[in-house]
Structures are given as C-alpha cells and as structure tokens.
Amino acid sequence: MSEQKRAVILVSGGLDSTTVLALARAQGFACYSLSYDYGQRHRAELHAAEKVSAALQDVEHKVVDLNLDSIGGSALTDLSIPVPEEETSGIPVTYVPARNTVFLAIALGWAEVLGARDIFIGVNAVDYSGYPDCRPAFIAAFEALANVATKAGVEGHKITIHTPLMSLGKGDIIQMGLALGVDYAHTVSCYQATEEGLACGRCDSCRLRRQGFADAGVADPTRYAQSPAGH
C-alpha cells in the first residue's frame, strides 16, 4: 500500500479555509494545517483554527509567528485604522500588504520539509472583497515561482497550489462544507471578533458570511456580540 500523499493546508479558522481542509481530507490527503499569528486584531480565529484542525483530524497543526503588525498598513494589523462597517469600493483597508504571498512562501517551505507536493488555500475570486492576492492570476504566478525557486521543483517534483473555492459563491462553499461534515459554529470570520469569538455582524466579512448562509438556505450558526445590523 502506497504512503498517503501529504498536503499543507492554510487554515485561518474561518469558513473558507475550514471547508478547504475538509475537502483536502476527503480527497485522501494527509493534512498538515498551517496558521499564522501575524499580529491580527481578530486573534480569536487562531483558537478557531486549532478547533477545526483537531475536529477534521489533521496530522499536525502548526502556528507560525510573523508579526506583520510591525509594518502595519491594514485595518487588520494596525489598531489605529478602524475596520469599515459600511460597504466600500476598490481595495479595502482590510487588505494586508503581501499577506498571501508571505503565507504561501512559508507554506511552500514547510511543504518541502514534509515532502509534500500540494498546498491548499481558500482564496476566492467571487466573494474576495477586492483583495489582489485572491485572484487566479496571483495563484498561477506563485505556483510558477514555487516550481523554479525550490529544490523540489528543480528536481522535477511539481508543486501544485490548489484553490478549490476560487469560482464558488459563499452559499455553494457552505453547502459543500456541510456535505463534508463541517461544523461552521467552530469557525470565526469576523475582522473584529471578540476574544471569545463573538462576531460584530457589521464588517465586510460578517456580511459575506451571513449572506452565504442565507444563500445556502441554512441557519447561520455564527455567535454575534449583538444582533447584526438590519436583523
């Protein structure tokens, strides 16, 4: 019997990455989940990442310290920049400069150490909030980089960046996850969640998540600090 293929899964503790972890596991991968303590204001997501990784029976869950708050530039890493609670156009202030580039680079390093040829990330081009590092062009460029910048790639062991949610709406993602047994009550998506994981119900991420459950036709299991706006 051949050894189970290994994969590194970027797991934030949110809805999308949890679904991706469940999907990779269903596809038969031995899953090594990777989270980042990057100075984000919504640190409750790290506790959620630990919970979902254990619930979905990964092989190992690693948390890497990055301290992107030392350079700031985002409402998620700089407490002096408020998280917007109204819809905005263009690239929002919640965009963290180069975040997915940094995240994938470290995931790539761990994949080489593990002998893994597959990396999964839950980026989405439909409900992506305007982030440039969630687009297919970025993923294609990074995959090309990965295969010229690594020992594995140079020796002919192709590294693949999997983005199974890229073209799906939030409702479709939720339906997929429920079919795979995901308990979304364990996930945290809010950009300004409390330490206990209670969501604000007003930020862009909360709006997308709430609409996703409505589109999926299922009850929203999110725990809110107060009733969401308009409800």
* CB-based contact 127:112 (threshold 8 Å): no
pLDDT of residue 128: 56
29-33, 83-87, 103-107, 208-212: which range is least confident on average? 83-87
Condensed to tens digits (0 to 9), the pLDDT of residues 213-227 reads: 999 999 999 999 887
Q: Are 230 and 221 in contact (CB under 8 A)?
A: no
Average pLDDT on 12-38 reads: 97
Quick check: helix, strand or coil at residue 50?
A: helix
The pLDDT of residue 231 is above 90: no
End-to-end CA distance of the chain: 54
Distance CA 190, CA 14 (A): 8
What is the residue type of 77?
T
For the domain bounded by 6-216, which CATH number is listed?
3.40.50.620
Residues 116-142: tens digit of each pLDDT:
999 999 999 876 567 899 999 999 999
